[in-house]
Amino acid sequence: MLTSRYIARAYLVPLDKTKRSIGMADRDVGDGTAESLILPKEDLNGWRKRWEEGRTAWHKTTVDPVLEKRIGLIEDGCGGGLSILVPMCGRSLDLLWLCSRGHSVTGVEISSIAVGELFTDNSIPFTSIESGPFTIYKATDRDLNVLCGDVFNLDTSYAGPFDVIWDCNAIVAINADDRERYVKAELSVLKEGGRILMTTWVYEQSIHLRFPLCVSPEMVEKLFAAQCDVRVVENIVLPNDSHFCQRHELPWAIRPVLFLNRKELVQ
Ligand SMILES: C[S@@+](CC[C@H](N)C(=O)[O-])C[C@H]1O[C@@H](n2cnc3c(N)ncnc32)[C@H](O)[C@@H]1O
196 located within any domain:
yes
Encoded amino acid at 175, one letter: N
- Please give the pLDDT value at position 78: 87
- Please give the pLDDT value at position 202: 96
**Domain range for 113:** 41-262
- Please give the pLDDT value at position 54: 96
**Planar angle of CA 168, 174, 180, nearest 5 degrees:** 105
**Planar angle of CA 152, 54, 37, nearest 5 degrees:** 50
26: number of Cβ within 10 Å: 13
List, for the chain, all residue ranges whose pLDDT scores fall below the cut of 70. Answer: 1-40, 267
201 located within any domain:
yes
- Tens digit of each residue's pLDDT (9 = 90 or more) over 235-260: 999 999 999 999 999 999 999 999 99
Nearest to 135 by CA among 143, 127, 125: 127
Cβ-proximal residues to 176 (8 Å cutoff; 6+ apart), any chain: 31, 32, 36, 213
Q: Tell whether ligand 1 has an atom less than 6 A from the beta carbon of residue 107.
A: no
4 located within any domain:
no
Q: Tell whether ligand 1 has an atom less than 6 A from the beta carbon of residue 150.
A: yes
Distance CA 215, CA 199 (A): 9
Q: Is the pTM of this model over 0.85?
A: yes
- Tens digit of each residue's pLDDT (9 = 90 or more) over 107-132: 999 999 999 999 999 999 999 999 99
Q: Tell whether ligand 1 has an atom less than 6 A from the beta carbon of residue 151.
A: yes
- Whether the CB-CB separation of 109 and 89 falls below 8 Å is answered with yes
186 located within any domain:
yes
- Please give the pLDDT value at position 1: 32
Q: Which residues does residue 193 pair with via DSSP β-bridges, in sequence order?
A: none
Task: Output the residue whose Cα is nearest ligand 1's atom 25.
Answer: 47
52 located within any domain:
yes
10 located within any domain:
no
> Under DSSP, is residue 24 helix (H, G, I), strand (E, B) or coil?
coil
- Please give the pLDDT value at position 77: 85
- Please give the pLDDT value at position 18: 31
Angle, to 10 degrees, between the axis of helix 44-53 and the axis of helix 112-121? 40
226: number of Cβ within 10 Å: 9
- Please give the pLDDT value at position 10: 29
- Please give the pLDDT value at position 192: 96
Domain count for the chain, please give it: 1
23 located within any domain:
no
Task: Output the residue whose Cα is nearest ligand 1's atom 3.
Answer: 169
Q: Tell whether ligand 1 has an atom less than 6 A from the beta carbon of residue 110.
A: yes
Distance CA 156, CA 227 (A): 18
19 located within any domain:
no
Atom of ligand 1 nearest to the CA of 59: 9
Q: Report H helices in the chain.
A: 4-10, 15-22, 34-38, 44-53, 65-75, 94-100, 112-121, 179-188, 217-224, 243-248
The CATH code of the domain that includes 229 is 3.40.50.150
